[in-house]
Structure 1
Amino acid sequence: MADVAALAGVSGQTVSRVANNRSNVDATTRARVRAAMRELGYRPNGAARALRNGEFRGIGVIVFELSTFGTTRVLDEIATAATGRGYAVNLMPVLDINQRAVNDAFTRLSAQAVDGVIILIEAYLLDEAGVQLPHGLPVVIVDSSAHYDYPVVDTDQFDGARQAVVHLLELGHRTVHHVGGPRTSYPAAHRRRGWEQTLLAAGRELPEIHFGDWTAQSGYEAGCLLAADPSVTAVFAANDQMALGVLRALHEHQREVPAQVSVVGFDDMEESAHFWPPLTTIRQSFADLGRHSVESLLTILAAGEPQPIAVPTELVVRSSTAPPG
């Protein structure tokens, strides 16, 4: 900074004002200082600025399942929203959900100087293992339990499942079979509950659930069992990838979709419009989920009190559903 000041012919305090984008420097002087910075290769010390201002401009994200479609999309949107607000994102994968792993993740994020943490861990184990979140950092939880005293941002999973089931019942199907997500997943549990309660409220038979693991392979395996049952005319899969596996299984068993069996997914991933037949599904806004999680955390950092947010879902009707044949 002293070298920049000497080259530009100004005081060190003026260089500091320019480096921190203060307004009390005239345009000519600012341009001369910036030119000196470029010539000398000077960059402001972000760590020193953070210590001085008490703000690191960093957001930590703790995540459990990096490979799932929903997680990768939400991470992408969190990064986009954070960058747009001038924050860097530090990603901290957790390989196993237990107290030590979560504590280690918080400790490492604290060492990397973040202002707050977004937790993207969908598993029940966050509660069932008795995991307590360490104090000292502002926290927002995405797609998980509301059992913590932190803001929760989630898709309205229950209503999305309700829309899927209502659509199939209104087409005339007597009941709806369900290919569920993992038993340990909060989103899967909410979708399963929406499916179950909607059928019960309509006075319909509640079929046995076939559990998958979000993959097309697990959907295919469940689909083979469903295809072998001639009474099955409607299937709601908890995500589009499992719905893809169900479609393949029905095709291999000569069960025409939608003439004999209707199929609905959840997510509205980009490829779903190009399945054969194009998939009727529940659209959830990953952009809104990522944006709201970042905005909730920034609200906490500004000493505000964000409220829990349920991002609405939307039924997208395509060619994989029809009245029963």
Structure 2
Amino acid sequence: MKPPVIADVARVAGVSVPTVSRVLNGTVPVSAERRERVMAAVKQLGFRPNGAARSLASQAGSMIAVFAGNTTRYGYAATIQGIEEAARQAGYMVVISVVETADGPTVERAIDHALGQPLAGAIILEFDPPGVAALAQMPSWLPAVAAASGGSSDEAISHAYMDDRYAATQATRYLLDLGHQTVHHVAIPSVGVESPRMVGWREALRDAGIEPPPVIHAGWDPLAGYDAGVRLARHEAATAVLAGNDELAIGVMKGLVDSGRSIPGDVSVVGFDDHPLSQLWMPPLTTVRQDFVGLGHQVFGLLVGRMEAGEPRPSVRMVPDLIVRRSTGRPAPR
């Protein structure tokens, strides 16, 4: 669990420590054969010639890295806010590394750039494919934990997560209890498997003896929701919608209204996240409230425990709340 040091590289390469230093510094000529051996050992061990490993070994690190696929979306930004608040109180600085795609070289560059700092640990926002890929490539010697929108079967990594599956089940049951015959789902992008929100929605319908309608897959932004709303407006039987997040829900409502459907007279809409603008929309949006700032506090606490104990701590489950506003109601009589 300790980071590789220059002596480890020398041992694997079968050369002296000064020879490794010469290869890495490039200040003194070294034979091609020895250079190849040194670089092969560097790659094999995952050695990075910077101060991060030495700082970790001496427990002198006072900086943590946050790896995220995005920093502008509400859930990402609020979680980072919570991490930064908790870290500041504990005397740590936070650096943020944006992992733009799940492509291997892109992820590796983001990690290498962050490891150029004297890191004590890392937090990965496992909200999307880039976050999943970054978590998979974290070096084993670096204490790391993850924030997620669902649990994880990987017991080697501690997670603080929102139980989106349970929350989506409750939101769907709420719409069914109002008298809607079914609930349509406009989904956010998943991380390779069905999102917990989609799973919870489908389970609630099947538990009620209802075959789920086809999922409408969308992007992250309101325009994708608008297109979904226009599509749903063509189906008179569509009277209830669960959107993957509030931005999509706002777009869905706009698309429905522009297509001649009223909210909630013709269609009830539920969002996810409780975006600050959701209560200011017309009508105010019924949504699943998620405490992302609290999630940031919890995941930082897991990282501190991981750094102090040297082993994963039990994951933390957080349960979102359904906030009922005026975008939902009983279906109109046929």
Q: TM-score, normalised by structure 1?
A: 0.79
How many equivalent pairs are there?
A: 277
Counterpart residue number, 2:255: 249
Q: Secondary structure at the match of 2:172?
A: helix
Q: Secondary structure at the match of 1:115?
A: strand
Counterpart residue number, 1:236: 242
Matched, 1:315 2:322: yes
Write out aligned runs for 1:165-180 (5 A): 165-180=172-187
Displacement of 1:92 in angstroms is: 1.0
Matched, 1:219 2:225: yes
**Structure-2 change in CA distance of 1:52 and 1:122 (3 Å):** closer
State which of 57, 70, 74 in structure 2 corresponds to 1:69. Answer: 74
> Is the deviation greater in 128-137 or in 111-120?
128-137
Counterpart residue number, 1:161: 168
2:147–2:161 contact (8 Å) kept in structure 1: yes
**Structure-2 change in CA distance of 1:201 and 1:125 (3 Å):** farther
Which letter does structure 2 place at the counterpart of 1:168?
L
Counterpart residue number, 1:141: 146
1:250–1:256 contact (8 Å) kept in structure 2: yes
Which letter does structure 1 place at the counterpart of 2:148?
D
Counterpart residue number, 1:15: none
**Structure-2 change in CA distance of 1:321 and 1:52 (3 Å):** closer
Q: Secondary structure at the match of 2:321?
A: strand
Q: Which runs of 5+ in 1 are unaligned?
A: 1-46
- Between structure 1 and structure 2, the one with the greater Rg is 1
Write out aligned runs for 1:44-63 (5 A): 54-63=59-68
- Sequence identity (%): 34
Counterpart residue number, 1:116: 121
Write out aligned runs for 1:194-213 (5 A): 194-213=200-219
The superposition leaves residues 118-165 of structure 1 with CA deviations (integer Å, 9 ceiling, x where unpaired) of 011422466689944322200101116724421111111101111110
Which letter does structure 2 place at the counterpart of 1:205?
E
Counterpart residue number, 1:8: none
**Structure-2 change in CA distance of 1:265 and 1:241 (3 Å):** same
> Is the deviation greater in 69-78 or in 171-180?
69-78
The superposition leaves residues 99-134 of structure 1 with CA deviations (integer Å, 9 ceiling, x where unpaired) of 333333333322200100001142246668994432
Displacement of 1:202 in angstroms is: 0.8
Following the alignment from structure 1 to structure 2, what is the Cα–Cα distance between the partners of residues 53 and 135?
17
**Structure-2 change in CA distance of 1:73 and 1:168 (3 Å):** same
Following the alignment from structure 2 to structure 1, what is the Cα–Cα distance between the partners of residues 133 and 316?
23
2:180–2:239 contact (8 Å) kept in structure 1: yes
Q: Which runs of 5+ in 2 are unaligned?
A: 1-51
Following the alignment from structure 1 to structure 2, what is the Cα–Cα distance between the partners of residues 264 and 87?
38
Following the alignment from structure 2 to structure 1, what is the Cα–Cα distance between the partners of residues 250 and 86?
31
Displacement of 1:95 in angstroms is: 1.8
* RMSD of aligned residue pairs (Cα, Å): 2.4
Q: Secondary structure at the match of 1:198?
A: helix
Displacement of 1:182 in angstroms is: 0.9
Q: TM-score, normalised by structure 2?
A: 0.77
1:236–1:264 contact (8 Å) kept in structure 2: yes
Q: Secondary structure at the match of 1:321?
A: coil
